[in-house]
Amino acid sequence: MTQNAAPIAAPLDEPRLVAETGLTARIAALASPVLEQLGYRLVRVRLSAQNGQTLQIMAERPDGTMNVADCEAASQALSPELDVADPISGEYRLEISSPGIDRPLVRVSDFLRAIGHEARIELVHGLDGRKRFRGEIKAVEGEGRDAVVTLERNDARDDEEKSVRLPLRDLDEGKLMLTEALIRASLRAAKEAQETEAGGEEEQDSEPAERPRRGPGRFAVKPKAEKPKPVVPAGVQTHFKKGGGGSPSRG
C-alpha cells in the first residue's frame, strides 16, 4: 500500500536494507545489540583513515531522532564494549553521531519519512542500464526488502522516463539531499519536539512527588540537570584514542 509522509512508528528491530562488510561488519554486529539495549538503532558504521583512524557509529531512535544526551549515552555504553573486543589495531578516534538532516536512507521507514523530499539512490544492479537516480520520493509500496520506491527524477534525459520504481532489495546506497524544503521540515520537526517535551514537563510538575522508580539498566546513565537540546545536523562527537590491547586515554 502506498504510504504518505505521516509520522512513522517504526519498530526498534526493523532490519536495515544495506549492511557493512569486513571489519565494519564485525563492529556493526557488536554495536547493534548494545544500542538496542538503550532503545537506539544502528544506522551506519564507517572506518576512515583521515587524520588518523576514525570510527564513526551513526545511531538514532526508532522515530528518527537523536540528541546530544543520546549520543553521550551511546558512547558510554559502546566504549567499554569496543575496548574488550579490540577490533581495530592501532589508535583510533570514536565518533558517535546522529544521522543528520541529509541522512542516509537504510530502512524502509527512512524512505517513508522522506516522501516529498529529494534523494539520491544507487542500486546494486542497474535498471535499464542505470544504477544512480536522483529525484523526489513520491511513494513507498510494500514492506521490508520487497518494498518499492517511486522516484520522480530530476536527472533524467529527454529520452528517459521521469518516474521510476526502484526495488529496495537492490539498494546499494540512499541519501537525502540537503534542500531548503528539507531544512524547513527539519526545523519545524525540532520545534514541535521541543513543544511536546515542554508540555510533558508541565504535566510531570502537576503529578505527586512520590512516584515508583525503575532500577538502573545495564547501560544506565546518570540524569543531567540541563535539558538536552535536539540535534539537527550531526550530533555530538566523542573521542578517545586507543593503542592495540591497551587502555583508552580520553581527550
pTM for this model (two decimals): 0.78
In the chain, residues under CATH classification 2.30.30.180 are 108-176
Dihedrals φ, ψ of 77, to 5°?
-80, -40
Q: Cα-atom radius of gyration of the chain, to the nearest Å? A: 20
How does strand 53-60 pair with strand 92-97?
Answer: parallel
Digitized pLDDT (tens) for each residue of the chain, 251 residues in all: 444 444 566 899 999 999 999 999 999 999 999 999 999 999 999 999 877 899 999 999 999 999 999 999 999 999 999 999 999 998 999 999 999 999 999 999 999 999 999 999 999 998 888 999 999 999 999 999 999 999 999 999 999 999 999 999 999 999 999 999 999 998 988 888 788 777 766 666 555 555 544 444 444 444 444 444 444 444 555 555 455 544 343 33
Helix or strand (DSSP H, E) at 108: helix 108-113
Contact yes or no for 32/14 (Cβ under 8 A)? no
- The fold of 108-176 is SH3 type barrels. (2.30.30)
* CATH architecture assigned to 22-101+230-250: 2-Layer Sandwich (3.30)
